[in-house]
Amino acid sequence: MSFVIGVDIGTGSTKAVLTTLDGTVRAVARRDHAPSLPQPGWAEMDPERDWWGDVVEVLAELDTTDVAAVCVSGLGPCVVQTDDDLRPRRPAILYGVDTRSTREIAEITEQLGAGAILERCGKDLSSQAIGPKLAWLRRAAGYAWQPQDRWFSAHTYVVARLTGRPFFNAAVDAFVLEQPPASGDLNVYGDALPAFLGAYAPAARLPYLADVAALEWAIDEANRAADVPRAPAAVLAALAAAPVERLPQARLALDPSCRMTASPYPILRIWRANQPDCAGDERIDLDEGGAALLVRRDPPGVALEPLAPAAHAWLLALAQGETLGAAIDAAMRAEPGFDLGATLRAHVFAGTIVGAAFE
């Protein structure tokens, strides 16, 4: 019998779970750790001890005799600088809780312009961004960049240690060669990764991986999308004031953060099972059915909303610029019992639909 192992590196602990291929949990292991706060505004972890060392210990508690695959997820965005042999040059800098790059944020904002950054990224530069942290590292005494240096987040560092440089470099190099960056903004580099993974031979035994990567990319895009005002009453008033015969020609604008994704696999459950706050004992049957999802950034954070087939077809058509009439036709093809009124009101008040215009 073959098994799979899932590992998650979080801010407060590293967890591992051993399951059968049908999702039956056979064993779990955990090691607690905590960030180091050496100076005000600094938040660090020791990659060798807290990331790699903890992973080695939790894996040692599991029976790895017949393991078909290991999947690693981790906290982020973090950055660790290593030499060519994957030896960290300094402690890893954590995500937005580490605010040491305030000076670099101000300098980059002044250099590029706050308006240009907001237009390009949809939000101001902050301590959550990797770029200012890299600029801080470049400035920090004793940590000059070397041509052979490598840069990792928590999970990619552990994957590199687990698989060895040849495999890790081959996977990265294959993607970069097939889909080289088209711009200097690495925040928008990765949209082709799901398709790449779908055709990547070493990932052939994980047929859902490409769709989970597509969901991750949708979440990333939602986080970077521009903010627009939401006025649900105004949207409903505009529709109510229009002559009935003109409603099919209406075009409804979605919030810029909205993304639709769908898969024949339960990708939402797979994604949630690999988040740091998951207990790690959820059983997922890949044959239980697919998922259609709406990704939208709300004030508390990114929301992932499961959609019925008709609602998914309707919103997808609207997102593609179709008229309301064409979107209704798409929804009715998916589900003849589509309830337009209820769906429209729900998504207007949720902030999915933020405008209405007529041809």
Asked, for residue 163, whether it belongs to a domain, the answer is yes
Alpha-helix residue ranges (DSSP H) falling in the chain: 54-60, 102-112, 114-121, 130-139, 154-163, 165-178, 193-199, 209-224, 232-241, 267-273, 309-319, 324-334, 340-350
12 burial level (CB within 10 Å; 0-12, 13-18, 19+): exposed
* pLDDT, tens digit, 9 for 90 and up, residues 95-138: 889 999 999 999 999 999 999 988 888 888 889 888 899 889 88
Asked, for residue 125, whether it belongs to a domain, the answer is yes
- 64 CB neighbour count, 10 Å cutoff: 12
Statement to judge: residues 231 and 185 lie in one domain = no
Statement to judge: residues 14 and 141 lie in one domain = yes
Q: In what order do the strands lie in the sheet with 301-306?
A: 259-263, 291-298, 301-306
Statement to judge: residues 281 and 146 lie in one domain = no
Asked, for residue 195, whether it belongs to a domain, the answer is no
Query: How many structural domains does the chain have?
Result: 2
Return d(Cα 97, Cα 99) in angstroms, integer. Answer: 6
pLDDT at 330: 96
Statement to judge: residues 212 and 83 lie in one domain = no
Per cent of the chain over pLDDT 70 is 91
Asked, for residue 202, whether it belongs to a domain, the answer is no
Query: Is the pLDDT assigned to residue 272 strictly greater than 90?
Result: no
Return d(Cα 127, Cα 93) in angstroms, integer. Answer: 11
Statement to judge: residues 257 and 215 lie in one domain = yes
If phi > 0 it is left, if psi is from -120 to 50 it is alpha, else beta; for residue 164 that is: left
Cα→Cα distances 143→84, 89, 132, 136, Å: 15, 7, 15, 10
Burial 310-329 (b: 16+ CB within 10 A, else e): bbbbbbbbbbeebbbebbbb
Statement to judge: residues 164 and 269 lie in one domain = no
25-34, 143-152, 289-298 — which is least confidently predicted?
143-152
What range does the domain containing 225 cover? 207-359
Return d(Cα 130, Cα 175) in angstroms, integer. Answer: 21
* pLDDT, tens digit, 9 for 90 and up, residues 30-87: 999 999 999 999 999 999 999 999 998 999 899 888 888 898 988 878 899 888 878 8
Predicted model pTM: 0.56
Statement to judge: residues 154 and 215 lie in one domain = no
What angle, rounded to 10 degrees, do the helices at 324-334 and 309-319 form? 150
Asked, for residue 201, whether it belongs to a domain, the answer is no
Statement to judge: residues 219 and 162 lie in one domain = no
Both tokens of 245, joined, read 């015969």
Q: What is the chain's percent helix, strand, coil content, to nearest 5?
A: 40, 20, 35
Handedness of CA 243, 244, 249, 254 (dihedral sign): positive
Asked, for residue 200, whether it belongs to a domain, the answer is no
Statement to judge: residues 161 and 264 lie in one domain = no
Statement to judge: residues 165 and 243 lie in one domain = no
- 212 CB neighbour count, 10 Å cutoff: 21
Statement to judge: residues 26 and 170 lie in one domain = yes
Pick the closest to residue 284 from 45, 82, 21 (CA basis): 21
pLDDT at 354: 95
Asked, for residue 196, whether it belongs to a domain, the answer is no
Asked, for residue 85, whether it belongs to a domain, the answer is yes
Pick the closest to residue 302 from 218, 193, 213, 184 (CA basis): 218
Query: Is the pLDDT assigned to residue 276 strictly greater than 60?
Result: no
The answer to whether the beta carbons of residues 276 and 8 sit under 8 Å apart is yes
Return d(Cα 136, Cα 275) in angstroms, integer. Answer: 29
Statement to judge: residues 271 and 163 lie in one domain = no
Of 189, 224, 241, the position where a domain reaches its end is 189
Query: What integer is the mean pLDDT of 228-236?
Result: 92
CATH for 102: 3.30.420.40
- List all residues 6 or more positions away from 56 whose beta carbon is below 8 Å from its beta carbon: none
Q: Which residues pair with 356 in a beta bridge?
A: 252
The answer to whether the beta carbons of residues 5 and 20 sit under 8 Å apart is no
pLDDT at 318: 96
Give the three-class secondary structure for 73. strand
* pLDDT, tens digit, 9 for 90 and up, residues 144-181: 667 778 888 888 888 888 766 655 566 667 788 888 87
